[in-house]
């Protein structure tokens, strides 16, 4: 167990890491400027709250700076001198050169330092498969610990320098966000009714709108800071505007040859276009397939997991619209946005019910031919009948009441929300005679 101090831990990202560390049994303290909010968040997660950044920094084995980009260097200057030698100081900021320089300049020589950048938003429920960038600056002990921790959480780790991080992020983040925000602003300026335009949409347009909305629907202060603190952002913007202007000139001049040449060169530079086609096809297919499966589930019980809260909703599907699905669970009706939920497979529905509903148990004695394989029948019953959690053979009887060449086998069936009449039909269906 380690002691984790998260400076700014009452914010969305700090809250995410506080929850993960606390769930693993580590001792966690979060800080924040708003005491009421901080105390509420701490209580929800089950950690401690402090308004004193310096005290928290002195206490922690790991000190994580998780504040707005605009305030990061200032907060590092405040707390870094108080981090204990042998402890780890790290940040989770979207730019790396400025924070890393500040941590090196203001922390004691014996403090280990790692810049980090989680390449995902605070709404995730797991790190599995997500990119986590590390820019180690000093020390090996905590670097090994952090790598092992991220490996345990199945994150994809990239180790690089602060300078290389900011160079690549000037494209991965700054160019992407700049482009998408520009498109959204263009739609607004043109007076386009986005919802209406979706009625005419190709799958690619639909997917593009969702990606744009994902960006512009998030914290604009954060996105402004990413653009304004990356030292290479302006150069990337200038190049983008230059290329857009060049393309506009080609179209205005109706120079088809120049258009084809520019597009062909861009395609060659993109590399494996076929693989990109395949990935985008999968994304498009996933959008329509989820809706199709939900429509096929009308009248059936399903489990839907909310992508951001992690809450699982179990109920019978009663209505499916293009953007919404309605369930009835008992007497309660729940309507959810399809974009915010995933349809869980049958086995996960059963697992959820096994954890949250009372289990039922019943024994069935059935007369079978002597040569029948009762263990195979038990495994087949387990796989065939919805709601069965376990099926085991608890007794085999051969006696005067049992005809010669036959045996009585007793199966113990345990499950949730079970239709025991279906179990009886199964046993009769394989040629058994119930006792």
8 Å CB contact between 325 and 336: yes
Q: Does residue 258 carry a pLDDT above 90?
A: yes
The mean pLDDT value for 362-366 works out to 93
8 Å CB contact between 27 and 86: no
Class of CATH domain 358-434: alpha beta
The mean pLDDT value for 334-347 works out to 84
pLDDT at 100: 97
Instruction: Round to whole Å and give the CA distance between 153 and 147.
Output: 10
> In angstroms, what CA-CA distances link 251 with 258, 262, 366, 403?
9, 11, 80, 90
| Helix %, strand %, coil % of the chain (to 5) | 50, 25, 25
Label residue 273 by pLDDT band (50, 70, 90).
confident
8 Å CB contact between 48 and 28: yes
Q: Does residue 45 carry a pLDDT above 80?
A: yes
- pTM of the predicted model as reported, rounded to 2 decimal places: 0.70
DSSP H/E element including 302: strand 301-306
8 Å CB contact between 67 and 75: yes
Q: What is the pLDDT of residues 170-203, one digit of tens each?
A: 999 999 999 999 999 999 999 999 989 988 888 8
Beta bridge partners of 414: 361, 390
Q: Which tokens is 16 given?
A: 């995410």
Angle 320-193-324 from CA coordinates, rounded to 5°? 10
Taken as a whole, the chain contains a residue count of 435
Q: Does residue 352 carry a pLDDT above 90?
A: no
How much is the CA Rg of the chain, to the nearest whole Å? 29
> In angstroms, what CA-CA distances link 350 with 81, 193, 357, 381, 389?
53, 43, 10, 15, 8
Q: What is the pLDDT of residues 396-427, one digit of tens each?
A: 999 888 999 999 999 999 988 788 899 999 99
Q: What is the dihedral of CA 268, 274, 277, 281, to 10 degrees?
A: 180
Q: Which tokens is 425 given?
A: 């039909």
Q: Which tokens is 385 given?
A: 């009948």
Q: Does residue 142 carry a pLDDT above 90?
A: yes
What ranges do the domains of the chain cover? 3-160, 165-254, 289-354, 358-434
Which one of 3.40.190.10, 3.40.50.720, 1.10.490.10, 3.30.590.10 gives the CATH number of domain 3-160? 3.40.50.720
Please name which of 424, 408, 399, 425 lies closest in space to residue 370, comparing C-alpha atoms: 408
- Which of 147-161, 210-224, 277-291, 335-349 has the least mean pLDDT? 277-291
Instruction: Round to whole Å and give the CA distance between 165 and 92.
Output: 13
Considering the domain 289-354 in this protein, what is its CATH number?
A: 2.30.30.100
3-state secondary structure of 126: coil
Q: What is the pLDDT of residues 386-396, one digit of tens each?
A: 888 899 999 99
> In angstroms, what CA-CA distances link 248 with 183, 239, 241, 259, 268?
15, 14, 10, 10, 21
Does residue 108 or residue 419 have the better pLDDT? 108
Q: In what order do the strands lie in the sheet with 341-343?
A: 332-337, 324-329, 312-320, 301-306, 341-343
Whether the domain at 289-354 and the domain at 358-434 fall into the same CATH topology: no
pLDDT at 293: 86
Quote the longest CA-to-CA distance of the chain: 99
Angle 230-236-239 from CA coordinates, rounded to 5°? 165
3-state secondary structure of 313: strand
């Amino acid at each position: 167990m380690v002691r984790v101090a998260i400076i700014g831990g009452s914010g969305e990202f700090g809250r995410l890491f506080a929850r993960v560390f606390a769930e693993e049994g580590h001792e966690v303290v979060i800080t924040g400027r708003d005491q009421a909010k901080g105390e509420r968040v701490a209580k929800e997660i089950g950690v401690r709250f402090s308004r004193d950044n310096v005290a928290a920094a002195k206490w922690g084995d790991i000190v994580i700076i998780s504040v707005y980009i605009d305030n990061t260097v200032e907060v590092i200057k405040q707390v870094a001198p108080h981090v204990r030698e042998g402890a780890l100081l790290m940040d989770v900021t979207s730019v790396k050169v400025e924070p890393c320089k500040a941590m090196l300049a203001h922390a004691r020589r014996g403090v280990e330092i790692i810049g980090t950048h989680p390449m995902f938003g605070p709404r995730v429920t797991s790190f599995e498969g997500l990119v986590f960038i590390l820019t180690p600056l000093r020390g090996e002990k905590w670097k090994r610990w952090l790598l092992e921790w991220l490996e345990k959480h199945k994150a994809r780790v990239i180790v690089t320098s602060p300078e290389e991080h900011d160079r690549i992020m000037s494209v991965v983040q700054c160019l992407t966000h700049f482009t998408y925000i520009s498109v959204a602003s263009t739609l607004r300026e043109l007076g386009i009714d986005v919802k209406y335009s979706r009625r005419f949409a190709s799958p690619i347009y639909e997917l593009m709108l969702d990606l744009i909305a994902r960006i512009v629907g998030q914290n604009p202060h954060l996105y402004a800071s990413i653009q304004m603190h990356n030292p290479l952002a302006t150069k990337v913007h200038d190049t983008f505007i230059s290329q857009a202007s060049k393309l506009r000139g080609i179209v205005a001049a109706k120079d088809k040859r120049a258009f084809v040449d520019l597009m062909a060169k861009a395609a060659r530079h993109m590399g494996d276009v076929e693989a990109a086609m395949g990935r985008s096809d999968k994304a498009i297919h996933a959008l329509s397939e989820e809706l199709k499966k939900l429509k096929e589930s009308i009248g059936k019980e399903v489990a839907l997991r909310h992508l951001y809260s992690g809450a699982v909703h179990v109920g019978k599907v009663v209505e499916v619209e293009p953007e919404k699905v309605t369930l009835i669970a008992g007497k309660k009706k729940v309507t959810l946005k399809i974009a915010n939920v995933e349809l869980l497979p049958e086995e996960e529905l059963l697992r959820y019910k096994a954890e949250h509903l009372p289990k039922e148990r019943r024994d069935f004695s059935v007369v079978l031919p002597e040569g029948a394989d009762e263990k195979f029948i038990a495994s087949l019953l387990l796989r065939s009948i919805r709601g069965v959690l376990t099926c085991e053979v608890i007794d085999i009887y051969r006696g005067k009441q049992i005809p010669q060449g036959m045996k009585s086998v007793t199966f113990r069936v345990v499950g949730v929300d079970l239709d025991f009449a279906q179990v009886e039909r199964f046993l009769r269906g394989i040629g058994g005679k119930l006792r």
